[in-house]
Each structure stands twice: as C-alpha cells, then as structure tokens.
Structure 1
Amino acid sequence: MTRPAEPASDDAATSPLWRAAQAFRLVTLIYAVGQQAASVSYYTNQRLSWVLIALMAVWSGVSAVMLSQWRIHNLRRVRTTVVIGDHVVVVALIFATRLVSDFDWYHGHQTLPTTLWAANAVMSSAILWGPFGGVTSGLLISAAIITAREQWELDIWRDATAPVLVSVGLAIGLAANTARRAQAQLQRAVRLTAAAEERERLAREVHDGVLQVLSYIKRRGTEIGGPTAELAQRAGEQEVALRVLISEQGERSDAGGPEVDLRPLLTAQATPSVLVSTPGEPVPFGRWEAREISAAVAAALANVVQHAGPGAKAYVLLEDTGEELIISVRDDGPGIPSGRLAEAEGQGRMGVSRSIVGRIAAIEGTAHLLFEAAGPDAADDGAEWEFRVPRRR
C-alpha cells in the first residue's frame, strides 16, 4: 500500500486536533465504563449491556487508531468513512439503551453511551467538515438521545445535552478552520521566501557571470570599434534586457495581497539619462499590479536605450487621479515610424506587444503610443507611451 512521505497541508493543519480528539475519546470511554459499573444493577438485561459496552470499547480503539494516523492512502476517504461509522455506532448504542433497561430508567438517566462519549462523533465531524458539520452532528445526536429517552416535552429545554453538543461542534469546527487557514498562510509564506531566495541566488550568479561578460564585451567592443561595434551594441542590448528580466521576477501569487507604494518601483529606474517624476504622496497599488507596471516601464526604457541612441533622454511621469493611474514614458529620440509596431508584430517580433501592451492589458489597463514619427526624415520628436490603469474599488 502506498504511503505518503508527509501529510498534505490540510492533514498537517488538523493532525494535532485529531490526536487530541482521540485522547478525549479514551477519557470518555473510561467514564462510560465507570458509569456502566455504577448503573448495571438497575438494568433489566445486564449481560447485554456489558456486551454493548465491550463493542463500544472495541470501536473506540479502532476509530482512534484510524483517525489519529496520516500515513494512510486515501486518508480523507478513510476518515470520512470512520466518522460516518462513528455516528452509526453512537446512534445504535443510544437506542440500544431501551433493550437493557426499562422506561423509568432510560427516561430519567443517561443513555448507555454517555453524552460525554457521544460527543466524540461531534468532535470528529467538526474537525473533518468544519463548524457546519459539527453543529449538524450535534443536532443529530441530540435528537437521537431525546427520541430514545422520550423527552419531547417542555423539559427538553432544561436539558443541557443539545446546547453542549452543538457548542462543542461549533467551537471545534471553528478551531479546525482556523488551523487550516494558518497552515495555508504558513505554506504560502514559505513558498514566497523560498522563491525570493532562489531569485536572489540566480541574480547573483547571473550578475557574477553573464552580466559581467556582457558588460565587458560592450566596453571592449566599443573601444576596438569597427566590426566589433555592432557586437558591442548587441551585448549592451542583451545586458539591459537581462537586467530587466531579473528585476521583474515575481509571481502572480502576490495578486490580491497587501498593497505597495508604486513610486519606489519607478524611481529605482532613474539614471542620469532617465528622469522620473512621481507625486509627493504615496501611491498604493496591488503588489502584482505594481510590479507589472514597473516591468512595462522598464521595457519601454529598454527600447529607448536600444533604439533612441546613447544620447537620448527619457522622462517617466506618474499621475494618480484617484480613479486611475496614468504613467507616461517619453523620450527625445528619433521616434517610432508610423506603423512600425504593427509591422514588427506581423513579422512575429512580439517584444513590445508582450512586454508593454500585454502587461498593461493583463491588469485591465490600456497602453497607447501617443507620438509616432511621420517618416524617416521627420524631426526628432521622440515617442511617448501612456499607460492608464484603473483603480479597483
């Protein structure tokens, strides 16, 4: 039989509750046996009552072993089967009380499986199915006890059986759900920490190796000149692209998480040739959305370096209208000829459509190229991208 090496997240979260519930089951079994010894002299069928108590003890041992283990294949199905069996045994023993005692006894005393032992089924349901399962189980067993004792009269409101069992189911169910949420948050934090550490490790290795080599090729190629100048230019382009790739590494799992200030993500891209202007007040935005905006701006600036020439300057402006964010990226280079982007996309070169337009569209925004050069002889009016991203209410 295949056994998992470690419990799943849900099982790991509730394992302490399952083990504690089985310890409680042992205590309640001892109490039930003591109650049997104290009450057996009042029973009309004492031998049958001891047989039923023996069955209760056997079932308690079997269910405790099955519910407290997690090294079992199809653990969820096994636990569901045991919990359903728990209810069948409890209800059967409750009504079996009428086989071992007369009306006067079972009408005014506890049933054969004491209320305390019957609470085990309620606790198991609450751990497995949450508050709804716990409350439903409490109501079911309470109804069985009241029916078996024939107490459907006004005195039912003086009996604490139903309130106690329902309260136990509700409390344990809430505790189980809280444990599951805490386990999920812990695992998410561990994954994010591991991913961040891995990104930092890769960034260090890339920086120590590939980026330094590309930077060296760019510098030496520029110094040598001639045919190596083009090689130097390509190396510089790849260096910029690789730096952008490293800086934008992130996961969509951050979407919907805490908001971050967008301004530092943009101002971090400022250089002597890139001027970044942001509002004086913080601009909070979703973590993943802010990273996508920053990556789109970085891609636009990379295009400036690649196509506008080394002497071109770029300007990044962030505006927050309250309803949407407006980010402008403008340069003073030769501009982009009209229709050039559509032509490049038709040729299968998807850099702009994916790195800029695609990122902004993914966060339900729009990206427009406001200025295009009229032709190869047009004045150097530059190009300007405008990103508009609505705020989510």
Structure 2
Amino acid sequence: MFGKVRAWSRRHEKLAGVLRVAPLATLCAILVVPYANVSPTATTVGPYLGVAGYVALSAALLWPLLWRDRAVASFAVIALISFGQWLAGVNPLPANLAVLVALWAVAYRCSFRWSLAAGLVTELGVFLALSRWETPTLGMFFSASIFTVTVWLTGLYASTRRRYLEGLEERAERAERERDQQARMAAAAERARIARELHDVVAHNVSVMVVQADGAGYALDTDPEQAREAVRAISKTGRAALAEMRRLVGVLREDEQADTDYTPQPGLGQLEDLVRGSAVPARLQVGGAPVELPEGQQLAVYRIVQEALTNALKHGGPGVRALVEIDYSGPELVVRVTDDGRGAAAPRSADGHGLIGMRERVGMYGGAVSAEPLRGGGFEVLARLPMVKAA
C-alpha cells in the first residue's frame, strides 16, 4: 500500500512538473517569431519596441517562471512587470501569458488565500488590459475571465490532489511505523515472558539440585543409599530442566522451522505431578468443582505453585513440609501454598525475581498475590485470580 501511494505521488508530481514546464517552453518559442510580427503597424497603440526590446521584455516576463519554489514571488514579479508595461502603454505580448502560468503555480503550491489573491490580481490585469487596448464589452471580459478562472481552478484541483496524495503517503508511513512498532513490542513481550519462564525453570530446578547435592554430601558417609537417591534426583531434575530450557530457548531462534514440535505448556493438570515430584514433601488439596481455565491462566497458577515450593525448599529449613490448596468454590480462583518452615526467621534472599514474576503473572489477569510469613512459623503464598472460562 505504501509503495502504491508513493508511486501515485511521484506520477502526480511529474505531471505537475510537465504542466509547469510545457507552458514555459511554449512561451519561450515566442522569442523566435518572425520580426514582422513585432514590426510597427497601423494599429499599433503603444511605442515600438524593436526586436531587442521585444526579446528583453519577453525574457523579463518569462524568467520568473523558473523560480519553482517561489510561486508567490514569481507571480508578483510578473504582475509588476505587466503593470509597468500597461503604464508605459506597451502593447501586450504573447509572453504576458506568463501571468496565467504563474497564477497556476500559486494555486498549485500555495494556500487558498494566496491563490485567491493571485486570481483577483489577474482579473484586475485582464480588466486593465481590455480597457486600454480594446473597447471592452461585458462579453469580452466574461470570456477572458472564464479562461483565467479555468487556469486558476486547474491549479486548485492539482493542489488538492497533491495534498490528498501527500496525506495518503503520510498515513501509509505512519501505519507502517506503527505496524513495525507493534511487532517489536510483541517480540519484546514474548521475550520477557520467556525470560520469566527461564527464571522459573532455572530457579526451581537448580534449587532442587543444590539441596539434593547438599543432602548427598552429608549422607555420603553415613547413608550411601540415601546419597545415591539424592544423586539420582539431581540427575532427573537436571534432565528435566535441560529439556524445558531447550524448548524455551528454541522459541528465541529465528531460524527455527515452522513445523517444530514444542511440548505443551504445563497447566493445572500437571499440578499433582509437580507436587508429587517436588523435593519438599507436599500434598495437594482441591476445593470446589474444577473449572476449565485458559492455558495462560493455568500456566500462571502452575508457575506460582512451582515458585512457592522452590521458596519453601530454599528458605524453609530442614524437614519443611508444604500444603498446596486450589479453591474453585468462590468467585475467584484461590491458590494458597503454605509451609511449616522457619518463616520470618529465614534469611532474606537477594534474588527477588520470583515474587516479582508471580505478581506480574497474576496482574495480567487482574488478580493479586501476597507472600508473607505466618505467625508461629511458616510461610504463605496467597494468590487470587478472577476465573475466566476457556473459550
């Protein structure tokens, strides 16, 4: 669309240039008319100019037409020369038609106020010329005015068409910029979402691996079987993290084939597996009748539970247990994850991206989330999301 508009604009500008130059070329040809045409005759009213005067006056009238970007100044100079010619009583020359060419240029390039003023000045010039060199009649003045008004209206039409095409070109450029900007914003939003996904995957799985590795180190001498179980858990967690990270990083590849098969995003159906496979002993409790939610909202709930269990593992201390509650019975979906760990006594972590990520996910659906220690020990993550049924 933008290319077509630009092509139309170029063709229109080229046509306008032809309309501007063609009369000038025609009038320049007048300079080579036979000398007999400028010889004194019995009907000559004004003084005889001779060839030199004819050429000089014609050149003076035609030269301002070359001022392409100064239409008003060109018209003013030509009109003043013509007025001086009228005052001196010099007969009209074919080059006086340059007034009409300049009038067209003003109507084409300038505002309506300037074009109207130029039209009125041209009409005044027609009246003065008829009153000096002819016996003016209403029909003669009307005929000359029709010709002048036609030139003026042609310039106005060309100007309107030019402005219309310029407006189309500007709107096409703006639409193209907005489209590119929306594409960049969508790409940035997708990359931010993937970055949050990567954080959740890395934070959860690496935390599990660190805790299991610490446990294996302590149990290596006293309980080799438990150490082997911890190493196997580390291996399993590492493979799962690597597979999910490959899936997420694959989305960022620009050369990825369109038919690539990606693993579906986890949702509420995978919560039980998440709780059962967590390094923190936890159980899942569901209240109310489950509702089919959009995939994005299901993913948000899954990641909130995953992050809460990770925090319980990192800060809850040894022997911590967790309870995951999903409640569908109210107007909102309530997600509560509590643990019986150290709570307020747990050391603060410098990495606060987990809570920020939970708030961003819940905020996308108009919900709210809180994370705070409980009285008497333990920690609670509470999220409330409006329930939107999947389409």
Taking structure 2 as the reference length, the TM-score comes to 0.47
